[in-house]
Structures are given as structure tokens and as C-alpha cells.
Amino acid sequence: MKKINIKLMIALIGGSLIMASCGNNSKSENDSLQNEVGMEHDHSSHELGATEENRNVSANIGEMKGDLSVVLKDYFTINENLVEDDASSAAEASAKLVTSLKGFKGSKLSDDEQKEVNDILETAIENAEHISKNAGDIGHQREHLISLSTDIKDLIAIIGTSQKLYEDFCPMANNNKGAIWISNKEAISNPYMGTKMPTCGKVQNVIN
Amino acid sequence: MMKWLKRIAILLVVILVGIQFIPTDVNQQEEIPKTDIRHVYDVPDNVMNILQISCYDCHSNNTNYPWYSHVQPMRFLMDRDIREGKEELNFSEFGSYSQRKQKNKLDRISKQVKADKMPLPSYLLLHSNAKLSADDKQEIINWVETRLKQNE
């Protein structure tokens, strides 16, 4: 009698476990589906907002082909955090940059320019995602900052900006191959070397 | 006490059998697509060989599944690595990347290899032949550098 009871119990527990796990699965699937729908919704509304903003800006300033101010602000924050070796704040700032890059829309771009901008945005978003996901590996963040900075530079070249910016160069970054970054201050503060060598590098180009 | 141990053991068996029925992904493709890196660039045989042995399982549309891939929870972990691997870099679709992305990816390949970050340690645990020797690494790095110079 006892044995039968045990077997029954096990069968019941086993059965309910499988069911429970299935139930959980379908629930989490639902959740993720809802999340996705929610995200898309957010995204589209964000994009709408961005285009409206862009329209205002391009009405104000004739020759600019979009408003990079939010993108640049987020990018500068990453750099400032990396100058201070603060990987987790850089990751947070980079998550914001992902959002602002995704929301960015150019205006009055030729087909070629639009294609170029799309390519730049794609790699820039990827680089920013890597920086945001690697709060535990500042070296990895800095590697992606090298290529993100080139993306930002190329984006500025096409879109334009009203800010006075500096293209800085550090010969020691990128395993001594050298790397550039964009700054809104004339004084050098080097995001690749951090607190070890914050003033390594020089201004090699002034934008505006 | 024994009774409980027995129950737990049986329970574990039930779970292990249960998870074998979780549906899996199959990452396989018969033909080598036109966008494969070997059709995009003139990849030397030695480099192509290394890529196929050490990278293609997770970074292409064609995984060489070992026997234990048919056993859970191994497959579950494998599917995740393949999904994430292909999202980062897919050699089968390299030709569909923009010039900028191709250049970035080449640069990333050489840096990840140089820093011993790839192949993943968890993958090497059961794929000892995928481990890159110092020579293998140098061959990849050299090829990437010549490639990047030609792209400039």
C-alpha cells in the first residue's frame, strides 16, 4: 500500500513538474512577445518624436542634414566616463546612445548619403551595444570606442553639426596603431588611456 | 531519508527525460552561399581551414553537430551560442555586410583571436581540435592585416 502511494506521488509530482515547466514556457513566451510589441510601440513613437525634432532643427539651420546633438551628448558622456575608468557609467551612457542612434533620422540626404548613413548607424549601434554590455571589461569597451569614434566622425562629416568639435588622436591607443576620438573640448582628455595617461594625444582637426 | 533520496533521483530522471522533448534549432545549409567569405575575398586555404574548423560551428549557417548535440541540456546551450554567434558574425553572410561592417568585423576577428577570447573556452572543452595554435593565430592576424590594407 505504502509503495503504491510513493509511486503515485512521484508520478503526480513528475507530471505536475512537466506541466508547470510547460506552463512557464508559454507564459514567458507570451511575456517576451508582449515586450517586443511594447518595444516596437515605444520605438515607433520615439522615431516619430525624433523626426519632428529634426524637422524643427533643419528649419532653423539650413545646411545641416539632421540633428546629432543627442547622439553627440551621449557619445561624449561615454568618453568622459572612460577617461575616469568608470566602465559601468560608460555602459549606461552607451545604452542611451543605442537609443539615440536608433532614433536618429537624417533629412534631405541623397540616396548615396542615406545608404552611407544607414551603414554607419548599423555599425555604430553595434559598437554602442558592445560598450553597454561590457561593464565588466573596460578594455573591450575601449576597443569598440575606437571604431565607434570613426563612425561618429563619419556621421558628422555627412550630417554636419553646429557645435565646435575637435578630432583628437592618440598614437598609443589601438595597440600603438593609434586611434581618434571626437571631443567638444579643446583640452585633451583621453578615453583610451584613462586615468593612467589622461592627457596623451593631440588635436589633429577642428570641426567648425 | 532513503525514501527522499529515491524520490529526488526519480524526479531528476523525469526532468532529464522531459527536457529531451524541447524543440531544437537546426543550423545547416547544403550549399555554400555566394555571400560566404570565401567568395567575397580570396581567402588562402590555410586560413579558410582554420576558420572552418575553429569558427564555422557558431559563425556560419552550417554547424557540424557532434553526437552529444542530440542530448539536452547540451543542445540548448549550443543553440544559444550559435544564435548569438551568428548575430555577431556570420561568415556565410559576410558578403551581405556593408564595406564598413566587413572592415569592422575583420578587425574584431584579429583582436578577439589575439586576445584568446575566441573560440570560447566552453566550446574548446569538447572541441579540442578547434583550439588555435600560436601559428594559427598568426596566420589569421596576418591575413586580416593584409586584407585591411587592401581595403583601404
Are B66 and B104 within 8 A, CB to CB?
no
Please indicate whether, in this complex, the C-beta atoms of A18 and B18 are within 8 angstroms of each other: yes
How many Å apart are CA A104 and CA B12, to the nearest integer?
51
B96 close contact with A: CB closer than 8 A: no
Per-residue pLDDT tens over the stretch A21-44 = 433 444 344 444 444 444 444 444
Residue in A16, A26, A126 to test binding to B, most B beta-carbons within 10 Å: A126
Residue B27 carries which side chain, given as an amino acid letter? Answer: N
Q: Which of B104, B105, B106, B109 to mutate to test the interface with A (most CBs of A within 10 A)?
A: B104
Sequential DSSP letters for A71-93: HHHHHHHHHHHHHTT-HHHHHHH
Q: Say whether pLDDT at A62 is over 70.
A: no
pLDDT at A36: 41
Q: Which domain holds residue B109?
A: 2-151
Among B18, B99, B107, beta carbon nearest to A147: B107
ipTM of this model? 0.75
Residue A203 CB coordination number (10 Å): 14
> Can you count the helices (H) and strands (E) in chain A?
6, 3
Whether B10 sits inside 8 A of A147 (CB atoms) is no
What is the C-alpha separation between A119 and A157, in angstroms, rounded? 14
Dihedral over alpha carbons B110, B114, B119, B121 (to 10 degrees): -160
Say if residues B84 and B65 touch (Cβ distance below 8 Å): no
Quick check: B92 and B33 in contact, CB under 8 A? yes
pLDDT at A13 over 80: no
A contacts of B104 (beta carbons < 8 Å): 123, 126-127, 147
Cα dist from B135 to B44, B59, B114, B139, whole Å: 15, 21, 11, 6
- Any residues with CB less than 8 A from the CB of B102 and at least 6 apart, and which? B40, B94, B151
Q: Is B111 in CB contact (< 8 Å) with chain A?
A: yes
The bridge status of strand A202-207 relative to strand A179-183 is unpaired
If one counts the domains in chain B, the total is 1
Return the number of other C-beta atoms located less than 10 Å from residue A107's C-beta.
15
Q: pLDDT band for position A5 (50/70/90)?
A: low
Q: Please tell me whether the overall predicted TM-score, pTM, comes out greater than 0.90 for this model.
A: no
CB A114 within 8 A of CB A159: no
Nearest to B37 by CA among B49, B20, B25: B49
Note the pLDDT tens digit of each residue in B77-87: 888 999 999 99
Instruction: Give the pLDDT score at B120.
Output: 92
Q: Quick one: which H or E segment has residue A179?
A: strand A179-183
pLDDT of residue A190: 94
